[in-house]
A and B are shown apart, each in its own frame.
Chain A
C-alpha cells in the first residue's frame, strides 16, 4: 500500500480575481488545473503541481500563487518533512530518488562570504561609461615558445585560442536534456554576444552547424554524436570527465526523450535509453587522458583548443595539475551546485565540493607548480550573478560557464522536475507541444539581455577597483576579502579577512 504524501506546495487561487479563462488549465502539462462546469469555477489539484509557476506567470489577472504547504508532521529537527517523505516515497516505490537542477541544500555559499574592493583616493576608480573597459579575453595555452624561421622572423607558435567578448560562456547542456528551441536560443545568443555555447554530450543537431564558430562540442563517456563533421564544426572540443551535479556517475537520458531528431543527432536508436558510463572506458590515468586529448587535437589538425571538464571534487587541484600536463588547453571545473537534467538525489545533494574552494585551490596549485599559463581555467556550477563572475575571476578563473542562470533567462523557474520531461516552459522537454512554448526569437534576446547586463555590471565593478581589463582582475585575490569565514576557509580561498589591510 502506498502512503499518501501531502504535496509540498499548494496552488492558491484568488476567486475574486479568477475569470475562469482556463489559460492555467491549457498551460499545465501536469494537469493541475481543471474547469468545473457545474460551478463555473476553476479547480486545482496540488498533488500534481511541480511549482514551475507557468500558470502563475500566464494568469492574466494574477489570480494564482503557489505557497509552501503548512501541513507538517510533528516538528523534528532531525527528521524534517522532506526527509520523512523521501523515506515514504522510497518505501512506496523501491526506487532511487531522482532530482534535477542543482543542489538546493543549505550549504554555505562562499560567493556570498566574499566582498570586493574599491579604489579610494589613490589608484582612482574608472568610469566605464567614459573610459575603455576591456572584457574581451582569450582562452588557451599561453606558453608560446620563441622560435624563428630561416629568415629570422618570429614564428607563430601560440596554441589555438578561443576569443570571448564577455567572460561568460553557456555551459554544456545536451540536446535531449534540453529542447531544440532552447539550443537554438543558446546558439544564437552566443553568436550575438561573441561567446560560446556548449553542445553537452548530446551531439550537434544538423541545423546548428552554422553556429559552429560559437560552439564548443563535447566528447563524453557515451561518445554520443561524435564524428568527423561534429569535431570539425566546432570552435573547441571539450572532454567531459565529470559533472558538478553528479560527480562520479554517468548520464541516463530516458528512452522517452529520444525522439527521431535526438536519435539522429546522438547516433543511437530511437526510444532507447541513452546511458553514458560513469568513466570513459579508455581513460584510467592522466596518460590515457593525454591520448584522448591528442587524438582530438590530431583529428582537428591542432587548430582547436581542447577543454577537459571535471567535477569539483576533493582532489581537484591534483587532478587539474595532471590535466594541465596532459596537453589540454583549458580546464573546466564544475561545482557541486551545478545543474543537471536528471541525477540521483543523494548524489546531487551530497557529492562534490563548492566551486569557490575548488577554483582557489586549482589556481593556487597550478601557480605553485609553474604551469598556470599552460591552461586557462573555466568555472561553473552556480555562477548566479555578475558579482559571482567578478569574484570567480579574482579567485583565478579566466571565465565562467553559466547554465542555470541561462535557463532562468529562458523561463525556467527551478522547479527541479526536468527528469519528468514535461517542462512547462519548453526547455527540458522533447514533447513538441511543450517545446514550442519557447520561441527562440524571444529566448535568444533574453539571453543576450542577461549577459549584456552582467557585462555592464562587471565593467562597473572592475572600474570601481580601478581595473580596466578583465585580464588584470584574473587571480587578483587582493581584491577580495572574506566575511564570516573560518581561518581554514580563508586559507583555502587564499584571501584575507574583511578589515585586514595589505
Chain B
C-alpha cells in the first residue's frame, strides 16, 4: 500500500506539516480563519533533537498493535491497509495511545477519544496534505517494497 514516509535527511524541522495536518482536519479553505488563535492538534508531529528533525505519523503497520489492543473495536485495518478509528465506537481508554511504539496515536482535542493519521482519507484533501505541502519533499507518499 502507499504509505507516508519521512526522510530524515531532508526534514528541516519547519513544522509546516503539523499546521497543514491540523488545517486539513478543519475542512476550511482559509488557513488563517481555521487556525488563527487556536491550539493545533496535528496527527503528524516533528521530533526535534539538535540538528536532527523527523516528522512522525502513523505507519499503518501491517500487524497493527493499536488495532489488537483496542477494547471497543474502534480501530480497524481496512482492505486498503489504512488503520482507521471510529470515533463513535471509541471509549477513550487511550490504550492505543499507550501501545503505539511510534507515538502516532494521540488523544483527540475533546479528550474523549483517540485520533490518528488516516492519510487524509477522512477529510476533503483526499491525498495527504502534509506531503503536498512539505517544502523539501522530506515527506513522501509512495509504495515501498
**From A63, which residue of chain B is reached at the shortest CB distance?**
B32
**Chain B residues near A438 (CB-CB < 8 A):** 136
A74–B36 CA distance with the chains assembled, in angstroms:
41
**From B140, which residue of chain A is reached at the shortest CB distance?**
A441
A442–B16 CA distance with the chains assembled, in angstroms:
18
A432–B135 CA distance with the chains assembled, in angstroms:
17
B88 within 8 A of A: no
Contacts of A1-35 to chain B: CB distance below 8 A: 16-19, 21-23, 26-27
B19 within 8 A of A: yes
B123 within 8 A of A: no
**Chain B residues near A437 (CB-CB < 8 A):** 12, 136
B62 within 8 A of A: no
A61–B135 CA distance with the chains assembled, in angstroms:
14
Contacts of A27-64 to chain B: CB distance below 8 A: 27, 57-58, 60-61, 63
**Chain B residues near A436 (CB-CB < 8 A):** 9-10, 12, 136
A433 within 8 A of B: yes
* CB atoms of B12 and A19 under 8 A apart: no
B65 within 8 A of A: no
* CB atoms of A441 and B137 under 8 A apart: yes
B35 within 8 A of A: yes
* CB atoms of B138 and A439 under 8 A apart: yes
- 27 A-B residue pairs with Cβ-Cβ distance under 8 Å, sorted by A, are A16-B32, A17-B32, A18-B36, A19-B36, A21-B15, A21-B18, A21-B35, A23-B14, A23-B15, A26-B13, A27-B14, A57-B135, A58-B14, A58-B16, A60-B19, A60-B20, A60-B133, A61-B31, A63-B32, A432-B51, A433-B51, A436-B10, A436-B12, A439-B137, A441-B137, A442-B136, A442-B137
Task: Specify which of A16, A21, A22, A27 is in contact with B12 (CB 8 Å cutoff).
Answer: A27
Range for the number of chain A residues in contact with chain B: 20 to 34
Task: Indicate with 1 or 0, residue by residue over B112-132, a CB within 8 angstroms of chain A CB atoms.
Answer: 000000000000000000000
* CB atoms of B16 and A23 under 8 A apart: yes
Task: Specify which of B14, B31, B51, B137 is in contact with A26 (CB 8 Å cutoff).
Answer: B14
Range for the number of chain B residues in contact with chain A: 20 to 34
**From B35, which residue of chain A is reached at the shortest CB distance?**
A19
**Chain B residues near A27 (CB-CB < 8 A):** 12, 14
**From B30, which residue of chain A is reached at the shortest CB distance?**
A61
Tell which of B13, B16, B18, B37 has the most Cβ of chain A within 10 Å. B16
A357–B20 CA distance with the chains assembled, in angstroms:
51
Q: Which 10 A-B pairs have the closest CB atoms?
A: A61-B32, A19-B35, A17-B32, A439-B10, A439-B136, A21-B19, A61-B31, A19-B36, A23-B14, A439-B137
Task: Indicate with 1 or 0, residue by residue over A108-141, a CB within 8 angstroms of chain B CB atoms.
Answer: 0000000000000000000000000000000000
A441–B32 CA distance with the chains assembled, in angstroms:
31
A61–B38 CA distance with the chains assembled, in angstroms:
14
* CB atoms of A21 and B16 under 8 A apart: yes
**Chain B residues near A26 (CB-CB < 8 A):** 12-15
Give residues in A with beta carbon < 8 Å to B: 16-19, 21-23, 26-27, 57-58, 60-61, 63, 432-433, 436-439, 441-442
**From B18, which residue of chain A is reached at the shortest CB distance?**
A21
* CB atoms of A60 and B16 under 8 A apart: yes
* CB atoms of A19 and B51 under 8 A apart: no
A16–B15 CA distance with the chains assembled, in angstroms:
21
Task: Indicate with 1 or 0, residue by residue over B68-102, a CB within 8 angstroms of chain A CB atoms.
Answer: 00000000000000000000000000000000000
A58 CB to nearest chain B CB (Å): 6
Task: Indicate with 1 or 0, residue by residue over B13-47, a CB within 8 angstroms of chain A CB atoms.
Answer: 11110111001000000011001110000000000
**Chain A residues near B12 (CB-CB < 8 A):** 26-27, 436-437
**Chain B residues near A432 (CB-CB < 8 A):** 51
**Chain A residues near B10 (CB-CB < 8 A):** 436, 439
A139–B114 CA distance with the chains assembled, in angstroms:
65
A179 CB to nearest chain B CB (Å): 14
**Chain A residues near B19 (CB-CB < 8 A):** 19, 21, 23, 60
Beyond A27-B14, A60-B31, 20 additional contacts (C-beta under 8 Å) are A18-B32, A19-B19, A19-B36, A21-B18, A22-B15, A23-B15, A23-B19, A57-B135, A60-B16, A60-B23, A61-B31, A61-B32, A432-B51, A436-B9, A439-B10, A439-B136, A439-B137, A439-B138, A442-B136, A442-B137
**Chain B residues near A22 (CB-CB < 8 A):** 15
**Chain A residues near B15 (CB-CB < 8 A):** 21-23, 26
**Chain B residues near A61 (CB-CB < 8 A):** 31-32
B31 CB to nearest chain A CB (Å): 5
B25 CB to nearest chain A CB (Å): 14
**Chain A residues near B9 (CB-CB < 8 A):** 436
A101–B13 CA distance with the chains assembled, in angstroms:
29
**Chain B residues near A19 (CB-CB < 8 A):** 19, 31-32, 35-37
A392–B1 CA distance with the chains assembled, in angstroms:
51
**Chain A residues near B51 (CB-CB < 8 A):** 432-433
**Chain B residues near A57 (CB-CB < 8 A):** 135
B52 CB to nearest chain A CB (Å): 10
B97 CB to nearest chain A CB (Å): 25
B48 CB to nearest chain A CB (Å): 9
Task: Specify which of A18, A58, A63, A433 is in contact with B135 (CB 8 Å cutoff).
Answer: A58
**From B138, which residue of chain A is reached at the shortest CB distance?**
A439
**From A58, which residue of chain B is reached at the shortest CB distance?**
B135
